[in-house]
Chain A
Amino acid sequence: MRYLRSSSAVVLALASAFAQEPVSFQQHIRPILTRQCQACHQPASKQSDLLLTTFAGFKTGGTKGAAFVAGDPGQSLVIAYLTGASKPQMPFGGRPLPDEQIDLFRRWIKAGAKDDSPAETETVDLSKPTVYRAPPVITALAISPDGKLIAVSGYREVLLHEEGRGLAARLPGLSDRIHSLSFSPDGKTLAAVGGSPARFGEVQIWDVASRKQRKSTVLTNDTLFGGSFSPDGTRIVLGGADKSVRLFDAVTGKEIRKIDHHEDWVFGAAFGIDGKRLVTVSRDRAAKLTDANTGMFLENVNLLKEGLNAVVRHPRKDWVLIGGEERIPYLYMMDRPRAMRIADDSTLIRKFEKQDGPILALAISPDAKLVAVGSAVGNVNVYSAETGDAVGKCTGHRGGIYAVQFHPDGQRLVTAGFDGLVRSYDLSGKLLAEFVPVPVERAVVSQR
């Protein structure tokens, strides 16, 4: 990925171009495409199936054909659309380009339409660890099944902390953000799911013992969310900003299936007890039950009310706890005891107290007796799963709570979120410990 760092470069480029120097794609054409065209011809909208964010996309063209014919401006679609010879004139709905700029396109095509853009490389240097001036927002955390390790999201990395001993390893990766962390049931594998906003999504599979990345799969144009392992540890399910749900092989990192039942971003996913079915939640308001082996849609688990952000499964039953913008956590059965009717809510087991903000994180204790709820505002609240009564309140957070998990020992609760601190509480809500998971370098001051 490249970043156009300076608009003055455009001006200089144009000025020099008028002196009849050779026209460069990188120097002259690309800045115009960026400013004038890519708002509509980008992965998210892709009008006429034309992608103008890369040279390859420009060359391939869209539904109307190749955008240019090297050496022949007269036969090139891009010239016809820019001059208005073909309708609608581009840029669509905007002012036509000045003649000098259209002329740059003509001259570049005439001279052979060469691609002089540098090779697509990621600017992240994985050998240099991120330097933090402030603790980053924590978007995900996971505790290993043996309770000895806690994995926490950082910026472009995952941090592994050892119980009682502090930072044990830094696991740098491509993605700016890690939205979900999960250990395999045997504790040997760590899946990190995330990406860089509006750029790409990534699934990272780490070997916990060696701290080595076993596999990185980059896919889609935006971040991925809500990764979780199948009970047998062989597969990972996750959701994406592209509205898809995807299943991955946990060993090879290969995609097994893409499922497209949701109509908006998918924020959470979980397997059923036997690993044969999935529940996924989305901003489209639905918690959808899907057959994991065929990808077939089975039914909606919930009544559609408001967008959903989180889902977690009961440790021993096919029950799911879901929550989102409505601020109310719902505990549902995955299975329907009788044939579905219109507006049927017979699978609802329990509704919990309404939270102060949209629900962002949910957890169920290992003995299934407690549930914990983290929201955009306020505290992490703990409830009895059986009665719905409030039993604890974990206070002290500043800003939203994005990750909540019970410790495998069943005695503690770990939380993290906007304020960049990891906190651990006992089950009544008493704070036991808190720490900043990243090394913060205070001496660095902004250069700007």
Chain B
Amino acid sequence: MKPLFAISLCAVAAAQEQVSFVRDVMPILNKAGCTSGPCHGAAKGKNGFKLSLRGYDPEFDYHALIHDMSGRRFNRADAARSLMLLKPTQQLPHGGGTRIEIDSPYYKTILRWIEQGAEFGDPVSAQVTKLDIVPSEVTLPKPGGKQQFKVTAHFADNATRDVTKEALYSSNTPVIAEINDTGELESVRKGEAAVLVRYEGRLAVVNVTVLPERQGFERVAFPENNYVDKHIAAKLEKVKLQPSELAGDAEFLRRLSYDLTGLPPTVEETRAFLADRTETRAKRSKMIDKLMAKPEFVNHWSVKWGDLLQVNRNRLGDKGMWAFREWIRETIATNKPYDKMVRELITSRGSTFQNPPANYFRFTRDPKLAMETTTQLFLGVRMVCAQCHDHPFEKWTQNQYFQLTAFFGGVGIKDGMDANEEIVFEKREDFEIKHPKDGRVMPPKFLFGGEKLTPREAELRQSLAEWLTSRDNELFAKAMANRMWSYFFGRGIIEPVDDIRASNPPSNPLLLDALTKDFLDHNFDLRHLMRTIVNSRTYQLSFRTNEWNAEDEINFSHAQPRRLSAEELFDGIYLATGSHPFLRDVPKLFRAQQFPDSTVGLGGFLDVFGRPERQTSCECERRSDVSLVQALNLLNGSTIADAIADEEGRIAKLVLGGANDRKIVEDLYLAALNRPPEPREMDLAQTYLAGGLNRAERAQDLLWALLNSNAFLFNR
């Protein structure tokens, strides 16, 4: 933009500081709410006047204010009569109400800007490079405390400015800490929150801790099994949380077994583990290694990867599905380094039958979807908002969206020789990705960092894979470390795990950094990462809470009971009852954790309990909710009823084998709840078994009751 009327206005300009649109006016439009989503920032604007959403496109906004309808909104001859001043001050009726007071500083800035010739200003020097927020972290001793922030913007030309008034504030948890328009924080109740501060495309986050009033709180010793516990202990001490006791052996074994293999321990395994007198840590560590060596470990983790990679015959065809499943199983069985696995997916080409990772491009058929899936899966970043406008709560821009998409522009898919076979190839033409606004061809560019790498035109996906899986990529290892953590605790250190952004900070950043570093130090060894997590004392804490930590949901001071997943529940029922399901399409002894996709047993028990169809790469597609239909299915459904009554099942064998009541009760507890009954439970159950003629039916009742208890339905 060239300055206009520099000559005629030099007298005015010399006397006053030059007002620039980008540096001075734009922040006012954002702060006054003009560019907000419900107002002129709406997709179609408001009443014929449109601005870019939250001011992400200052050139567009300048054009709208100055050039639209031959300069309708400003008035060079009589600046105070500019429509853009008359409206927000309500001198003329304004649907958005009074946004700016006459003669206020904002009013005067806009007025002076118009008087000086309404210049755009230099967007390069006006670029905000950094926001300084004081204080940068807040701990308030109790609810009702207040804290005023001061925000300083640093510009590309090294200028700084106090923008406390113009910055935009939001709290991610207003029920814990509220923040007002002028940057004053007030704590509401104990807990943790993050305050997001935005100013002209930059954002910064301040973590807020509101301490509870805890009289009589005493810290207890928290022995460290490994570095995980060190970081957890530090955080718990800071927020005055007392960790739970170490879980007992039975509680630990059941949790570990489900988490590593997707199955409960057998009756024999439980008995042996409880009888083992080895020192607890060593004993548990040994069990961890033992479980990780089981074939069920491979089954269980291929369910998780099958979800994320959308292994599903509707997308991949029968043969493609089985081939992709086999590749995943091999990847897990050989403990393929995570970076290698991802590189194989991203750079895959050729037949989807011969080279199974090429199926990655069968479910991400469009370059934009391939890019969105790749960033969400492997970086935990959701780019989808940036397709239409710069991301409102993140630094990602619309340009970046298409620059990153450009890496996938050349992916072509054509039919192969066999029915349903497809070939992934590099397109030689029509591979350019264009910006939707002006049709500009977008050159491939990494999302961040990548200073040491340059995209190679002929090998775009190889270049992308190198950048993505590079040790310097600050998010790649971190996203996986966080995701892995969530599999063992029911929530990530950043949650949701695939929505990593500045405005969604980790609950324990030091812990996440340490896990990330360890993962890198061990060359992306996923099993090492798991082993570290489950060996920690933190993982081995009881789900039973104490006076101080009952309400904790984010600091991992106790185990969080999680409903068993559809497959875990299904397999758990058949293991407990000693029965087998009858399903078409799969071999007779297949467990649910071996089913290749959701078409097996479609519409049945597994779907009621939230098995995903595998239509997206979002963890959220697998539902872990609890519903009435589920409860009715467990109470009256045929799955449990038939399994309990199986003529070759556990109860039939026990009763026909002449077991006494004590043995029956003990076995059923060990089979269903993976622990021996307590004396009171033993008495009650024995009394019941002895209370009538049909002993087998009474034993069935007992097992039915156990399977319907929370102790069975939850991993806790």
Interface: A18 (CB within 8 A) = no
Interface: B384 (CB within 8 A) = no
**A400 with B103, Cβ < 8 A, contacts A176-B75, A199-B92 known:** no
Interface: B70 (CB within 8 A) = yes
Within 8 A of B (CB), among A1-43: 3-7, 34-35, 38-40, 42-43
Interface: A197 (CB within 8 A) = yes
Instruction: Return chain A residues, CB-CB under 8 Å to B12.
Output: 133, 445-446
Rounded to whole angstroms, the CA-CA distance of A352 and B90 in the bound complex is: 43
A134 & B8 in contact (Cβ 8 Å cutoff): yes
Interface: B520 (CB within 8 A) = no
**A134 with B67, Cβ < 8 A, contacts A40-B95, A177-B72, A197-B72 known:** no
Among B70, B95, B102, contact of A44 (Cβ-Cβ < 8 Å) = B95
Within 8 A of B (CB), among A307-328: none
Instruction: Return chain B residues, CB-CB under 8 Å to A3.
Output: 86, 91
B67 & A155 in contact (Cβ 8 Å cutoff): no
Chain A-chain B contacts (Cβ-Cβ < 8 Å), number: 118
Given A267-B69, A283-B48, 5 new contacts (CB under 8 A)? A3-B86, A134-B77, A135-B76, A179-B70, A402-B70
Instruction: Return chain A residues, CB-CB under 8 Å to B2.
Output: 398
Interface: A103 (CB within 8 A) = no
Rounded to whole angstroms, the CA-CA distance of A267 and B80 in the bound complex is: 26
Interface: B81 (CB within 8 A) = yes
Rounded to whole angstroms, the CA-CA distance of A400 and B96 in the bound complex is: 29
Instruction: Return chain A residues, CB-CB under 8 Å to B223.
Output: none
Instruction: Return chain B residues, CB-CB under 8 Å to A139.
Output: 70-71
B87 & A198 in contact (Cβ 8 Å cutoff): yes
B67 & A399 in contact (Cβ 8 Å cutoff): yes
A4 & B95 in contact (Cβ 8 Å cutoff): no
**Which residue on chain A has the smallest CB distance to residue B87?**
A198
B72 & A223 in contact (Cβ 8 Å cutoff): yes
The 7 A-B residue pairs with the shortest CB-CB distance, nearest first, are: A42-B93, A155-B77, A137-B71, A402-B70, A136-B77, A139-B70, A197-B83
Instruction: Return chain B residues, CB-CB under 8 Å to A264.
Output: 48
Interface: B115 (CB within 8 A) = yes
Q: Name the residue in A35, A179, A400 with the highest tally of chain B Cβ atoms < 10 Å from its Cβ.
A: A400
Interface: B108 (CB within 8 A) = yes
Interface: A442 (CB within 8 A) = yes
Interface: A292 (CB within 8 A) = no
B9 & A134 in contact (Cβ 8 Å cutoff): yes
Range of interface residues on B (Cβ < 8 Å): 35 or more
Rounded to whole angstroms, the CA-CA distance of A130 and B81 in the bound complex is: 13
Interface: A265 (CB within 8 A) = yes
Rounded to whole angstroms, the CA-CA distance of A264 and B97 in the bound complex is: 23
Instruction: Return chain B residues, CB-CB under 8 Å to A442.
Output: 8, 11
**Which residue on chain B has the smallest CB distance to residue A267?**
B69
Interface: A338 (CB within 8 A) = no
Listed by A's residue number, 5 A-B pairs whose Cβ atoms lie within 8 Å are A44-B95, A134-B8, A139-B71, A446-B12, A448-B112
A376 & B95 in contact (Cβ 8 Å cutoff): no
How distant is A198 from chain B, measured CB to nearest CB, in Å?
Answer: 5
Instruction: Return chain B residues, CB-CB under 8 Å to A223.
Output: 72
**Which residue on chain B has the smallest CB distance to residue A45?**
B95
Rounded to whole angstroms, the CA-CA distance of A352 and B5 in the bound complex is: 33
Within 8 A of A (CB), among B73-89: 73, 75-81, 83, 86-87
A376 & B73 in contact (Cβ 8 Å cutoff): no
**Which residue on chain A has the smallest CB distance to residue B7?**
A442
A448 & B48 in contact (Cβ 8 Å cutoff): no
**Which residue on chain B has the smallest CB distance to residue A40?**
B95
**A39 with B71, Cβ < 8 A, contacts A137-B76, A264-B48 known:** no
Q: Name the residue in B66, B71, B98 with the highest tally of chain A Cβ atoms < 10 Å from its Cβ.
A: B71
Q: Name the residue in A137, A419, A442 with the highest tally of chain B Cβ atoms < 10 Å from its Cβ.
A: A137
Instruction: Return chain A residues, CB-CB under 8 Å to B87.
Output: 198
**A6 with B71, Cβ < 8 A, contacts A39-B93, A44-B47, A398-B2 known:** no
B102 & A5 in contact (Cβ 8 Å cutoff): yes
Rounded to whole angstroms, the CA-CA distance of A198 and B90 in the bound complex is: 11
Instruction: Return chain B residues, CB-CB under 8 Å to A197.
Output: 72-73, 83
Rounded to whole angstroms, the CA-CA distance of A432 and B689 in the bound complex is: 111
Interface: A384 (CB within 8 A) = no
How distant is A8 from chain B, measured CB to nearest CB, in Å?
Answer: 9
Rounded to whole angstroms, the CA-CA distance of A393 and B629 in the bound complex is: 73
A132 & B96 in contact (Cβ 8 Å cutoff): no
Interface: B117 (CB within 8 A) = yes
Rounded to whole angstroms, the CA-CA distance of A45 and B47 in the bound complex is: 10
How distant is B83 from chain A, measured CB to nearest CB, in Å?
Answer: 4
Within 8 A of B (CB), among A192-246: 197-199, 223
Instruction: Return chain A residues, CB-CB under 8 Å to B115.
Output: 133, 446, 448
Within 8 A of B (CB), among A154-185: 154-156, 176-177, 179
Interface: B623 (CB within 8 A) = no
How distant is A59 from chain B, measured CB to nearest CB, in Å?
Answer: 18
Rounded to whole angstroms, the CA-CA distance of A132 and B5 in the bound complex is: 13
Rounded to whole angstroms, the CA-CA distance of A442 and B6 in the bound complex is: 12
B78 & A155 in contact (Cβ 8 Å cutoff): yes
**Which residue on chain B has the smallest CB distance to residue A52?**
B93
**A35 with B83, Cβ < 8 A, contacts A197-B72, A400-B67 known:** no
Rounded to whole angstroms, the CA-CA distance of A233 and B15 in the bound complex is: 52
How distant is A53 from chain B, measured CB to nearest CB, in Å?
Answer: 6
A134 & B117 in contact (Cβ 8 Å cutoff): yes
Rounded to whole angstroms, the CA-CA distance of A65 and B200 in the bound complex is: 48
Interface: A303 (CB within 8 A) = no
**Which residue on chain B has the smallest CB distance to residue A4?**
B91
Instruction: Return chain A residues, CB-CB under 8 Å to B69.
Output: 267
Instruction: Return chain B residues, CB-CB under 8 Å to A446.
Output: 12, 79, 112, 115
Q: Binary interface profile of B, 1-40, with partner A (CB < 8 Å = 1, else 0)? A: 0101100110110010000000000000000000000000
Interface: B94 (CB within 8 A) = yes
Rounded to whole angstroms, the CA-CA distance of A42 and B86 in the bound complex is: 15
How distant is A298 from chain B, measured CB to nearest CB, in Å?
Answer: 27
Within 8 A of A (CB), among B134-168: none
How distant is A137 from chain B, measured CB to nearest CB, in Å?
Answer: 4
Q: Binary interface profile of A, 407-448, with partner B (CB < 8 Å = 1, else 0)? A: 000000000011110000000000000000000101001101
Interface: A78 (CB within 8 A) = no
How distant is B1 from chain A, measured CB to nearest CB, in Å?
Answer: 9
